[in-house]
Chain A
Amino acid sequence: MVNIIDRRLNPKDKSLANRQRFIRRAKRQILDAVRDVSARRRIADVGQQGEESIRIPSDGLQEPAFRKGGAAGVRRHVVPGNKEYRAGDRIPRPEGGEGGSGPGGGSPDGEGEDEFQFSISRDEFLDLFFENLELPDLARTQLSRVEQEGLRRAGYSVSGSPATLNLTRTMRRSLSRRLALHRPRREEVLELDREIDRLERSGKDPERLRELLRERERLSRRTRLIPYIDPIDLRFNRFVPTPRPISQAVMFCLMDVSGSMTEDMKDLAKRFFMLLYLFLERRYRHVEIVFIRHTHIAQEVDEETFFYSRETGGTLVSPALDEMDRVIRERYSPDDWNIYAAQASDGDNTPQDNPAVIERMNRTILPVCRHFAYIEVSGERGRGGVTDLWMVYERIARSGRPLAMRRVRRRGDIFPVFRDLFTPVERRG
């Protein structure tokens, strides 16, 4: 007797452990690949759904074995399909050596050994992306948590769609109502029918028969009047949507693009913006990004221009804040949007502009922002001293406004900004 077993329900991903070992093994190469991919990416694409195909060099991933080389020696190939050859004919060696070669040719597993391409899942990608950002573990788990949202059960209701009908509750109510109102039971009626039948056949005791028929009539009327299930019995499972705060957010990226910002600094800033975007994306269903760059004038631009085009000019911060204010007023009413702002700068500002900055921040920007993060990027060298903008913002922050500020020199410095950003206000004190 043959056993036929359905294995389809067995746990999948049996090779998951092998995959984790593989990824650990190829960590360095994969991290490099992910870094390249995320540098090329637009900010909003970084947490995009789906898989990521990456290509890594295969050093350290080969599986060597003793093999004979093709460079020297004598080989014989036996191949099918002779058309015109006779013994003794000479055939020029095909280019690349593959054309006429038999089962001995080519690399043994048919794979080019210098590069290896495969896909990683979104979670794996994010994990590695965060690793590149040198995030602490705790934040990483919080970030990669998949958010489940949906309706929440909330007791019973008297109306609803048939699909949410709660049978147990409904039948329980139906039963108690039928008992309370003395709805005739089926057995009772059947018993009566049988007796009527017997009396009718025998023809005896017509008095009793009439009485029974009356009784029967009464019972069926009662049965009709008291339905088995009445609309008042119906109970439905009640679901309430989980209450959510405003589910959309807008993120303003402000960056000083004057000549003093180097590519390194911009790269740090970009990573910071990406991370902020990922945080926001986890929290809000819909996140929009506005890029505002400034020199001594400010303008709203697209992402490409924001990061890659160069601009010369002096440095004034207040025009950027004005531009942000204009965009908020035009498109993002604070009643409908959670407004976040992140500003990256090397700290330069023309001293005469400082009072204007304080004024703008206190009066128009900070009151509508849920949070304003300022990072001062200074590259690896760092310039020690306190900059103009830093002093200005420090004064504002001291007054208890939602303003986080950090100096960032390395990638590892980026994360602490977020600790401030996502510590609830009341706990921040």
Chain B
Amino acid sequence: MARDLKPDAGLLYDGPDWDYGRVRRAFDAIERIAVDEMGLEPYPSQVEVISSEQMLDAYSSMGMPLFYRHWSFGKHFARDEMLYRKGMTGLAYEIVINSNPCLCYIMEENTMTMQTLVMAHAAFGHSHFFRNNQLFREWTDAESILDYLDFAKRYIADCEERYGHAAVERVLDAAHALMTHGVHRYPRPRPLNLKRELERERERQRFEESSFSDLWRTLPHRDTGEDRSDPDLDARQGRLGLPEENLLYFLEKHAPRLAPWQREVLRIVRLVAQYFYPQKQTKVMNEGCATSVHYAIMTRLHETGQITDGAFMEFLHAHTSVVFQPEFDDPRYSGINPYALGFGILKDLERICTAPTEEDRRWFPDIAGSQDVLGTWKTAWAEYRDESFILQFLSPRLMREWRLFSVLDDTGADAMEVEAIHDESGFRAVRRALATHYDLARHEPDIQVVDVDLAGDRHLILEHRVVDGRLLEPGNTRMVLHHLANLWGYPVTLAEVDAASERELNRFQDIAPDPTVI
């Protein structure tokens, strides 16, 4: 099928040097393949050329072009810079931002082939994924994220000016500590619209200034007949919307002693966390999508004679090092490489669609032999996240190829046990175990606010639902609870309860707030 299309397209470039004309020509050529031939639907792109120092800058603020200021970003920058200067780490080839238009950074040091690869990878692969994946559509607002971050940056700078660096830093520190537990995990009624956030912030303030929350009435009731010392748990939980797993949301809405600006800071951190939440859940797929797309596009460019053999070899070299997966006993092993896994599964899907074996027909009756590779890919990219993607599409053949096996590590036993390997009886167990790795809901501890002692000392009570006996790491937890108590303003207790037996395993009792802060 390769020979009938544009055989006379001509070379896009020759040699390693790049300039704007060549970058633009390459971009247009990639766009023809990606959009016209493959039918991808990326956001419009904006390609920005940056230097390595700017890349380091971008690293330190979560890859975003603008961000509010906080010392922790400075800390990351200091570490990244030192590691980079000493040659201990390289820099990423690209950074891409889920926004519309999609911002795609390329580095000035790269060769023309790398620029082409990066544009195919980021501006088409990632961008298509951002625009079409269900999680991103539901939870992120690419149209206005940059405007929102601009608002957030100015808002926090204003706060710093008005209330002092230290006060803002305390709130941000505490909010960052709770960031992993500042997301809604279940679909919300209406899509997020960050553009309206600014107006809503003003509305909220007006409303709160004019209203009064009966929840925190300090005068004793006289005339009500109900038993005040022990109000009904259900009613209390109903009023506070408990149990609530989004700790930042809960604090923003119900913490009794926060000033309006402090609530707004919590809200900013919470919305940022929510914006990044889909990325955490789709690392394998997102990289797999981008890698497959760049692989397809570069191959096609080479087939149609638009890049030289030398450029293609350079691309292959870069590509194979990106999707390299060392084995577990290799000193280079540091976990499963998401690029390799994502690319492996998608390439395997291509094989299943075009040249299925008997086994594939048994495992994937819907798609085996359908010949519609792109259609299958696009459905997968749109509808799945890492966990469900692996659970659905990891094939026996790929497990055999990777020689995957699952090891049960029970700290109660004196040795680890090989639970399942890549054989007929083990495929499903291995696949399930791998998928669970990518299930954030299981990976991150399940912590919820369950009760508040409204009548007494306003104690906040949290519960960690312990799965598989894995308790929280105590040192860290105590620090986070301290931050939490500072935001709440009153003591906090966290109970660790086994999810299966409802037995209490551990308890962090009465972590009190610092007397002066917040």
User: Chain A: residues with CB nearer than 8 A to chain B?
Assistant: 2-8, 10, 12-15, 17-26, 53, 61-83, 85-93, 99-104, 111, 116-119
Contact call B179/A72, Cβ cutoff below 8 A: no
When A15-B73, A21-B169 are in contact, do A86 and B418 touch as well, CB less than 8 Å? yes
Contact call B61/A18, Cβ cutoff below 8 A: yes
CB distance from A403 to the nearest CB of B (A): 45
When A7-B54, A66-B180, A72-B469 are in contact, do A18 and B474 touch as well, CB less than 8 Å? no
The verdict on B477 contacting chain A, using a C-beta distance below 8 Å, is yes
Bound: A100/B327 CA distance, A: 10
When A14-B54, A68-B473 are in contact, do A75 and B468 touch as well, CB less than 8 Å? yes
When A2-B24, A65-B179, A74-B469 are in contact, do A18 and B417 touch as well, CB less than 8 Å? no
Contact call A65/B408, Cβ cutoff below 8 A: no
When A25-B71, A68-B470 are in contact, do A87 and B47 touch as well, CB less than 8 Å? no
A-B contact pairs, 25 of them (CB 8 A): A3-B46, A5-B46, A5-B47, A12-B54, A14-B61, A19-B74, A24-B71, A24-B165, A53-B82, A63-B177, A66-B180, A69-B470, A73-B411, A73-B466, A79-B327, A79-B404, A80-B327, A80-B336, A81-B333, A85-B421, A87-B426, A88-B418, A91-B416, A100-B416, A102-B437
Q: Which of B439-489 contact A (CB under 8 A)?
A: 443-445, 447, 464, 466, 468-474, 476-477, 479-480, 483
CB distance from A166 to the nearest CB of B (A): 35
The residue of chain A having its C-beta at the shortest distance from the C-beta of B494 within the complex is A66
The verdict on B258 contacting chain A, using a C-beta distance below 8 Å, is no
Contact call B54/A21, Cβ cutoff below 8 A: no
The residue of chain A having its C-beta at the shortest distance from the C-beta of B72 within the complex is A63
Partner of A3, one of B45, B329, B410, B412: B45
CB distance from A344 to the nearest CB of B (A): 37
Q: Give the chain B neighbours of A66 by CB distance below 8 A.
A: 180-181, 444-445, 447, 464, 472, 476-477, 480
Instruction: Describe B's contact surface by its main secondary structure.
Output: mixed
Most-contacted residue by chain B among A19, A23, A66 (CB, 10 A): A66
CB distance from B446 to the nearest CB of A (A): 10
Q: Give the chain A neighbours of B28 by CB distance below 8 A.
A: 2
Partner of A73, one of B77, B326, B333, B470: B470
Contact call A82/B81, Cβ cutoff below 8 A: no
Contact call A22/B54, Cβ cutoff below 8 A: no
Contact call A76/B177, Cβ cutoff below 8 A: no
Contact call B60/A81, Cβ cutoff below 8 A: no
The residue of chain B having its C-beta at the shortest distance from the C-beta of A80 within the complex is B402
The verdict on B49 contacting chain A, using a C-beta distance below 8 Å, is yes
Q: Give the chain B neighbours of A22 by CB distance below 8 A.
A: 71-75, 77-78
CB distance from B4 to the nearest CB of A (A): 27
Bound: A18/B79 CA distance, A: 13
Contact call A19/B77, Cβ cutoff below 8 A: yes
CB distance from A414 to the nearest CB of B (A): 30
Bound: A82/B402 CA distance, A: 8
When A15-B74, A15-B77 are in contact, do A78 and B434 touch as well, CB less than 8 Å? yes
The residue of chain B having its C-beta at the shortest distance from the C-beta of A13 within the complex is B57
Contact call A18/B404, Cβ cutoff below 8 A: no
The verdict on B425 contacting chain A, using a C-beta distance below 8 Å, is yes
Write out, one digit per residue, whether chain B residues 255-276 have a CB within 8 A of any chain A CB (1) or not (0): 0000000000000000000000
Bound: A178/B221 CA distance, A: 105
Most-contacted residue by chain A among B169, B176, B436, B470 (CB, 10 A): B470
When A8-B51, A103-B336 are in contact, do A88 and B417 touch as well, CB less than 8 Å? yes
When A3-B101, A6-B49, A118-B78 are in contact, do A81 and B327 touch as well, CB less than 8 Å? yes
CB distance from A82 to the nearest CB of B (A): 4
Bound: A11/B325 CA distance, A: 39
The residue of chain A having its C-beta at the shortest distance from the C-beta of B61 within the complex is A15
Write out, one digit per residue, whether chain B residues 416-435 have a CB within 8 A of any chain A CB (1) or not (0): 11111111011000100110
Contact call B49/A111, Cβ cutoff below 8 A: no
CB distance from A57 to the nearest CB of B (A): 13
CB distance from B109 to the nearest CB of A (A): 11
The verdict on B48 contacting chain A, using a C-beta distance below 8 Å, is yes
Q: Give the chain B neighbours of A20 by CB distance below 8 A.
A: 74
Q: Give the chain B neighbours of A3 by CB distance below 8 A.
A: 45-47, 101
Q: Give the chain A neighbours of B24 by CB distance below 8 A.
A: 2, 4
The verdict on B406 contacting chain A, using a C-beta distance below 8 Å, is yes
When A79-B328, A118-B82 are in contact, do A61 and B75 touch as well, CB less than 8 Å? yes
The residue of chain A having its C-beta at the shortest distance from the C-beta of B470 within the complex is A73
Write out, one digit per residue, whether chain B residues 297-332 have a CB within 8 A of any chain A CB (1) or not (0): 000000000000000000000000000011111100
Contact call A64/B476, Cβ cutoff below 8 A: yes
CB distance from A406 to the nearest CB of B (A): 36
CB distance from B377 to the nearest CB of A (A): 23
CB distance from B421 to the nearest CB of A (A): 6
CB distance from A301 to the nearest CB of B (A): 37
Partner of B469, one of A10, A64, A73: A73
Contact call B409/A18, Cβ cutoff below 8 A: no
The verdict on B31 contacting chain A, using a C-beta distance below 8 Å, is yes
Most-contacted residue by chain A among B49, B56, B436 (CB, 10 A): B49
The verdict on B8 contacting chain A, using a C-beta distance below 8 Å, is no
Contact call A8/B416, Cβ cutoff below 8 A: no
Q: Give the chain A neighbours of B425 by CB distance below 8 A.
A: 87
CB distance from B513 to the nearest CB of A (A): 16
Contact call A4/B27, Cβ cutoff below 8 A: yes
Contact call A10/B407, Cβ cutoff below 8 A: no
Bound: A70/B470 CA distance, A: 7
When A2-B31, A81-B403, A82-B422 are in contact, do A67 and B476 touch as well, CB less than 8 Å? yes
CB distance from B116 to the nearest CB of A (A): 13
Q: Give the chain B neighbours of A14 by CB distance below 8 A.
A: 54, 57, 61
Contact call B335/A68, Cβ cutoff below 8 A: no
Q: Which of B162-191 contact A (CB under 8 A)?
A: 165, 169, 176-181
Identify 19 new A-B residue pairs, CB closer than 8 A, beyond the known A18-B70, A102-B335. Answer: A5-B46, A14-B61, A15-B57, A18-B69, A18-B74, A18-B77, A22-B77, A62-B479, A68-B471, A75-B409, A76-B419, A76-B436, A79-B404, A81-B329, A85-B405, A86-B421, A87-B419, A101-B409, A104-B437
Contact call A21/B405, Cβ cutoff below 8 A: no
Contact call B50/A7, Cβ cutoff below 8 A: yes
Contact call A79/B74, Cβ cutoff below 8 A: no
Bound: A8/B55 CA distance, A: 10
Contact call B406/A76, Cβ cutoff below 8 A: yes
CB distance from A252 to the nearest CB of B (A): 39
Q: Give the chain A neighbours of B408 by CB distance below 8 A.
A: 74-76
Top 4 closest A-B pairs, CB basis?
Answer: A81-B327, A22-B74, A73-B470, A18-B74
The verdict on B212 contacting chain A, using a C-beta distance below 8 Å, is no
Most-contacted residue by chain A among B27, B180, B407, B443 (CB, 10 A): B407
The residue of chain A having its C-beta at the shortest distance from the C-beta of B476 within the complex is A64
The verdict on B53 contacting chain A, using a C-beta distance below 8 Å, is yes
Q: Give the chain B neighbours of A23 by CB distance below 8 A.
A: 74
The residue of chain B having its C-beta at the shortest distance from the C-beta of A19 within the complex is B74
Contact call A2/B74, Cβ cutoff below 8 A: no
Q: Give the chain A neighbours of B47 by CB distance below 8 A.
A: 2-5
Q: Give the chain B neighbours of A18 by CB distance below 8 A.
A: 60-61, 69-71, 73-74, 77
